[in-house]
Amino acid sequence: MQDKTIDELLKTEPTHHDVIVSGWVRSFRSNRFIALNDGSTIKTLQCVVDFENFEEEILKKITVGAAIEVSGILVESQGQGQTVEIQVSKLTILGEANPEDVKLTILSPKRHSLETLREQAHLRIRTNTFGAVMRTRSKLAFAVHEYFQKNGFNYMHAPIITGSDAEGAGEMFRVSALDAKNPPLDENGNVNYKEDFFEKETNLTVSGQLEAETYAMALGKVYTFGPTFRAENSNTSRHLAEFWMIEPEVAFNDLDANMDLAEDFIKYVVNYALENCADDLEFLENRLLEEEKNKPQDERSEMNLREKLRFILENNFKRVSYTEAIEILKRSKPNQKKKFKYIIDEWGADLQSEHERFLVEKHFKCPVILFDYPANIKSFYMRLNDDGKTVRAMDVLFPGIGEIVGGSQREERYDVLLQKMKTMNIDEKELYWYLDLRKFGTAVHSGFGLGFERLVQFTTGMGNIRDVIPYPRTPGNAEF
C-alpha cells in the first residue's frame, strides 16, 4: 500500500483498493466527513469516517488544523465536486491542533486580511489563497529554467556578496564582520575596512548583470536567477528589500533581439502557468471577482485574471520610443488636467508607475515596450545612441503593475564606456574587470532583468508584492 498525494488520488478512478494519505484537516462535519488537504492541490479529499467504529477520544482530536494519516478504500464519491473519496478504516492523529488556538489563527473559517496573515507568515501558507499563490510561484520558477534550458542558455550563479554597485544608486546592504560597536578606525577616524573580512567595503548584490556579462562573453547565452537586495526605503505594494531576479545576457544580441527575447520568454512562462496551474488560477480568479464586487463599477477590471493572462499571449507587445511616449503623455487628459501626481512637461522626465500604467491600460491597451531612453536617467552600462543623448534601453510595461522588465544593449565600446563611467563618478578601478571585457574580443551584447515577484504578482492577480514571496523583507520588517 503506497502513500499518494491528494492531487494524485483526485485524478485517479475509484480503485476499491486500500490507500494511505496524510494531510491537515480543513473541516470535520457531522462526526463523519473529513475534508483533508495536503498542499499538493487547492482541493480537499473527502474522507468518510464510520464514527461507530472509532473511539470518541480520537474523534475529538480531529479538529481544524490537525495533522492526520488515514487509510482506507478509494471509492466513488457520493458527494458533489469530486469523483472519489476514502472510506476510512484506520485513522492516526499525527499532530493535534487545539480548537481554541485555531480560532485565533488563520486556520479559522473567518476571513482574515492579507495584512493580518503577514503577521503569521509561518501559518499563512495553510490558507487557500497562499497555497494557490505559492504553488503557482513554484511552477513559474520551473518554467523560467525550462525556457532558458530549452533555448541553449547556461545557468550561472552570480555572487551574492559583491564590491560593486551595478545600478549606481548606492542603495545597498553592507556586509561586514567588524565589531559594530567598536570597529577599527584609520588615521582619519573612518572605519578601516582593510581590517574587515574581505579587506574592503562589500555589499549584498543589487544585480548579477555585470558578472553575467562576463560569462555571456565566453559562453554566448547565460542567465542568472537568484536573490537580490535593495536598501531602498520604499513602503509600497511594488517594492521589496529582498527579491529574486531573472537576468539573461546574450552575446551578439542587439536591442531588437533583446526585446524579442523578453516577449518570447514572458509569453512562455505565462502560458506554462495557464496550462499547469489551472485549479489555483481558477480559485485566485474567483477570489478577485469576489473582491471586485465591493468596488464601484468603473474601478472593476475589464478582464478577469485568466483573460488577462491570455491577453498577454494573444497580443504582440507594442514597441514605442521614449520620445513618442512622452508626446502621448504630454497630450493626455490626466496630464493636461493635472491628474497625474508627476506632471509631464518636457522631454527627459523619468517616467513613473502612473505614466507607465496609463500607456498600457488606457492608451495602447496592450503590453508596451518602451525603448531609447534619455542617457542621463539610465545606468552607465547602456549603449549610447548616435544622437549622443539617448541609450539603447528598453522597459516592458504590463497592465496593473507597470514595469516588469528593464534591459538594454550594453555599451561594448571601451572608450565610450570609460567616459560614461567618469561622467557618472563610477570608480573605474573598482570595475577594471568590467572595462577589461571591452579589450578582449568586444562584441555587441544585450540583456535584461525581470523581478520574479512582479511576474508572480501579475500571474496570480495579488495586489501587493509582499503576498507573493514566502517571507517578505521590507523597511522595519525582518521577522521569521
Relative to beta strand 45-48, strand 84-95 is parallel
- Supply the pLDDT for residue 64: 93
Which grid coordinates are listed for 114? 492579507
What is the helix (H) or strand (E) element at residue 209, kind and residue range? helix 209-219
Say if CB 453 and CB 477 are below 8 A apart.
no
Phi-psi label, residue 81: left if phi above 0, alpha if psi -120 to 50, beta otherwise: left
Give the Cα separation of 206 and 159 in Å (integer).
Answer: 10
- Supply the pLDDT for residue 1: 53
Length of the chain: 480
Give me the helices (H) in 293-446, please: 305-314, 322-331, 333-336, 353-357, 414-423, 432-436
- Supply the pLDDT for residue 399: 85
Q: Distance of CA 308 to CAs 190, 274, 285, 359, 367, Å?
A: 54, 11, 10, 16, 11
- Supply the pLDDT for residue 104: 63
- Supply the pLDDT for residue 332: 96
Quote the pTM value.
Answer: 0.93
HEC assignment per residue over 241-287: CEEEEEEEEEECCCHHHHHHHHHHHHHHHHHHHHHHCHHHHHHHHHH
Give the Cα separation of 253 and 445 in Å (integer).
Answer: 5
What is the helix (H) or strand (E) element at residue 318, kind and residue range? strand 318-321
Say if CB 124 and CB 130 are below 8 A apart.
yes
What is the helix (H) or strand (E) element at residue 129, kind and residue range? helix 128-150
| Dihedral sign of CA atoms 415, 416, 421, 424 in order | positive
Helix (H, G, I), strand (E, B) or coil at 371: strand
In the chain, what are the domains?
6-105 (2.40.50.140), 128-171+206-317+366-467 (3.30.930.10)
- Supply the pLDDT for residue 110: 65
Q: What are phi and psi of 418, to 5 degrees?
A: -60, -45
- Residue 209: count of CB within 10 angstroms of its CB: 26
Which grid coordinates are listed for 434? 568590467
What is the helix (H) or strand (E) element at residue 446, kind and residue range? strand 445-451
Give the Cα separation of 341 and 198 in Å (integer).
Answer: 44
Residue entry with cell 488520488: 9
Say if CB 28 and CB 264 are below 8 A apart.
no
Render 45-69 in DSSP notation, one character per residue.
EEEE--GGGS-HHHHHT--TT-EEE
Residue entry with cell 558578472: 211
DSSP 8-class letter at 441: S
Say if CB 11 and CB 4 are below 8 A apart.
no
How far from the centroid of its chain's Cα atoms is residue 261's Cα? Answer: 19
Say if CB 24 and CB 61 are below 8 A apart.
no
What is the helix (H) or strand (E) element at residue 395, kind and residue range? strand 390-398
Which grid coordinates are listed for 230? 535593495
Give the Cα separation of 321 and 327 in Å (integer).
Answer: 10
- Supply the pLDDT for residue 239: 84
What are the residues whose beta carbons fall under 8 Å from the beta carbon of 461, sequence distance 6 or more?
284, 285, 287, 288, 305, 308
Nearest to 469 by CA among 206, 121, 230: 121
Which grid coordinates are listed for 203? 555589499
- Reported as a single tens digit per residue, the pLDDT across 404-434 is 999 999 999 999 999 999 999 888 888 999 9
Nearest to 312 by CA among 448, 149, 455: 455
Helix (H, G, I), strand (E, B) or coil at 405: strand
With a cut of 50, list the residues of the chain below it in pLDDT.
none
| Dihedral sign of CA atoms 379, 381, 383, 384 in order | positive
How far from the centroid of its chain's Cα atoms is residue 5's Cα? Answer: 27
Which grid coordinates are listed for 146? 525550462
